[in-house]
Structure 1
Amino acid sequence: MVVPGVLIFIKSSIPAIRRTDLETHCEMFWIQIQTRDGPVLFGVFYHPPNSDATILEEMNAAISTIPGKYSIVLCGDFNVPNIDWSLATPTVSSPVNSTICSLVHDNFLTQLVSSPTRGDHILDLILTNNPSCVSNVRVVDNLPGSDHDAVEFDLSVSSDDIVQSSRVLLNYSKADLHEFQEVLSHIPCNCIPTDNGIEYAWQYWKDLFFSTATSVISTVKWKQSKMKQWFTSATLHLIRVKRRVYHQMKCLGSDLLKAKYKAISNLVHSQTRKDTSDHVTNLSKSYFANSKKFWNFLNSIKGRRHPIPPLKHNDSSVSNDSSKANIFNQFFHSVFTVEDNNSLSELRQSWKSTLN
């Protein structure tokens, strides 16, 4: 996502929406990510040198409309050198310095960059109303082609916390294309403003086009694929072939296709089991390096709602929750005191047997 002067790269697996309602007549860009702890607003901003305070006043007015439940992270090149950020007060009196400090105080923001980013000045800032969600802020070497240093930080939002919103698509297959063409022909393309550059004109035309499309064409929810991430490309190819043969069998109903579908189904079943077994083996081998992956996988296949079944311990069955906890505690203690490779191999084999 890009506007002139600023840019945000977003991983395709992270559902983000653009918040144009927060953007003003400046080089600024906002996206919203929905998490289980509430929405996170992430913005980038560029304030040109020697600009007046109007831009910052408009941004302050926009931020002040954001409800308190939102976590705000705003970063960028603000070009305001004469600020004591330990107190968020100007060291030199000017309208720009006063406005940026008012913006910080009025919206209860904290500035997290503590090292100079250009010369002796802190020009590149990270402003947030939730400092706990930002960590490991560091200033690194100069950016290529720039006299500023880069600022890196971690946003403490894990992929498990991100709420995957359902994607809505236009259902062109059931659209009345003649009606769509008729409505589209009335768009006043000659009235699209071009004074702000080609990018702005392109975005303006896209908004017109999709607003017209959504008024005529029905929508359909797109369901994300639930393919396991550890399936190999060969397995995924077999699954696609299985679906294709299934549809052919439903349409034609021949015995040959039924036999072919049954053979492919058996092959897919054995291949997916093999991929899962290999994945479990790899997780058990890397348990001490990354135990979190192991437990995430275990929770995904066992489910959090299912109680732990009775355990066999010393030739007896244990069903009491407290006794189960003590048995697991003893087992985990033995895991972290294993020292020799033979015992470690036995432990891995024990875990594989438990999962199977």
Structure 2
Amino acid sequence: PNYDVVRCDRSSARGGGVALFFRSGVRFTVLPSLGNTEPLWCKVHVDKFVIVIGAVQRAPGSSAQVLFDIHDYILKHNLRNYKLILMGDFNLPDIDWSTLAVGSRDKQVCNALVDIAISFDLDQVVHQYTRDNSILDLVFLSHSITLSGFECSVVRGLSDHSAVFVTLNIRVLHANPEVVSFLDFSRADDVSILDLLSFYFDEFVALSNDCDVDMLLSKFCTLVSDCISKFVPVKI
């Protein structure tokens, strides 16, 4: 309850699959799927900007093509122009994320993931073990997001993987709604307006004998303004 769920289940094998949960009221758009791979992509509308979130579950032993497809997807849909979050279980423990150095296992796949991080200016922010002595569950943030500040913690999860919590320091401006008011001439007190104009008519005629056009216009504008303020209601 109170959340909307977007899922991409794995149909070809046991396990796997990804899902994104959005608090009710948060506007989001599900982007087209990759088709032959599992990542799930959504655009989330936060205040006046958009964050693109990609959820990934890379199966152990899968080829580098999965990551090549993610790289090409980001390019094809111009996602590098948005604030980007890419996260999930990548099953690649042989990367030192403090130096971006890769080990001997799955070297091509590891290099493909490092290339995504470098190409799209992403910072990998998980630096604690998420399963045994490995960092398998990763969260990549656009560098512009990390500059704004974030917190990352790893806690015991419900499965054999720990849960990763990342809190972003994104300031959302809740602007007060603009109140617009206007004069409702359809509900004006026409009778009172005519009475007031009639009352000042003789005075206005007398002034016309002694005053120039500018003074008469000023007097008339003052009279009209007085009628509007007294006899034309304001609607909000």
TM-score bucket of the superposed structures, by smaller chain: 0.5 to 0.7
Larger helix percent: 1
Residue 69 in 1 paired to residue 69 in 2? no
The equivalences for 1:116-127 within 5 A come to: 116-127=129-140
Unaligned runs of 5+ in 1: 162-295, 306-356
Residue of structure 2 aligned with 1:132, choices 143, 147, 153: 147
Residue 83 in 1 paired to residue 95 in 2? yes
With normalisation by structure 1, the TM-score equals 0.43
Letter in 2 for 1:48: A
Asked if the contact 2:38/2:56 (under 8 Å) is kept, the reply is yes
CA RMSD of aligned residues (A): 2.5
Unaligned runs of 5+ in 2: 1-5, 10-16, 181-236
Letter in 2 for 1:117: T
Instruction: Specify the alignment match of 2:62 in structure 1.
Output: 51
Letter in 2 for 1:100: L
Residues 147 and 67 (structure 1), Cα distance of their counterparts in 2 relative to 1, 3 Å cut: closer
Between the aligned partners of 1:59 and 1:126, the Cα distance in structure 2 is 15
Letter in 2 for 1:137: C
Residue of structure 1 aligned with 2:123, choices 110, 127, 137: 110
Residue of structure 1 aligned with 2:162, choices 149, 174, 190: 149
Between the aligned partners of 1:41 and 1:134, the Cα distance in structure 2 is 18
Larger strand percent: 2
Between the aligned partners of 2:40 and 2:75, the Cα distance in structure 1 is 16
Between the aligned partners of 1:46 and 1:140, the Cα distance in structure 2 is 19
State the secondary structure of the residue aligned to 1:17: strand
In the TM superposition, what is the alpha-carbon distance from 1:68 to its structure 2 partner? 4.1
Asked if the contact 1:24/1:58 (under 8 Å) is kept, the reply is no
In the TM superposition, what is the alpha-carbon distance from 1:60 to its structure 2 partner? 1.0
In the TM superposition, what is the alpha-carbon distance from 1:155 to its structure 2 partner? 3.2
In the TM superposition, what is the alpha-carbon distance from 1:87 to its structure 2 partner? 1.8
Residue of structure 2 aligned with 1:8, choices 12, 17, 20: 20
Percent identity between matched residues is: 26
Between the aligned partners of 1:31 and 1:134, the Cα distance in structure 2 is 22
Instruction: Specify the alignment match of 2:232 in structure 1.
Output: none
Between the aligned partners of 1:11 and 1:57, the Cα distance in structure 2 is 31
Q: Deviations over 1:98-139 (max 9, x none)?
A: 111111112221100011111111110001213235611100
Residues 25 and 11 (structure 1), Cα distance of their counterparts in 2 relative to 1, 3 Å cut: same
Asked if the contact 1:83/1:92 (under 8 Å) is kept, the reply is no
State the secondary structure of the residue aligned to 2:138: strand
Which consecutive segments of 4 or more residues in structure 1 shift more than 3 A?
155-161
Higher CA-based Rg: 2
Instruction: Specify the alignment match of 1:236 in structure 2.
Output: none
Between the aligned partners of 2:173 and 2:101, the Cα distance in structure 1 is 39
In the TM superposition, what is the alpha-carbon distance from 1:38 to its structure 2 partner? 2.5
With normalisation by structure 2, the TM-score equals 0.63
Asked if the contact 1:88/1:104 (under 8 Å) is kept, the reply is no
Greater alpha carbon shift after TM alignment, 51-60 vs 85-94: 85-94
In the TM superposition, what is the alpha-carbon distance from 1:69 to its structure 2 partner? 3.1
Between the aligned partners of 1:68 and 1:45, the Cα distance in structure 2 is 17
Instruction: Specify the alignment match of 1:253 in structure 2.
Output: none
Aligned residues: 165
Residue 35 in 1 paired to residue 50 in 2? no
Residues 58 and 68 (structure 1), Cα distance of their counterparts in 2 relative to 1, 3 Å cut: closer
Between the aligned partners of 2:58 and 2:141, the Cα distance in structure 1 is 17
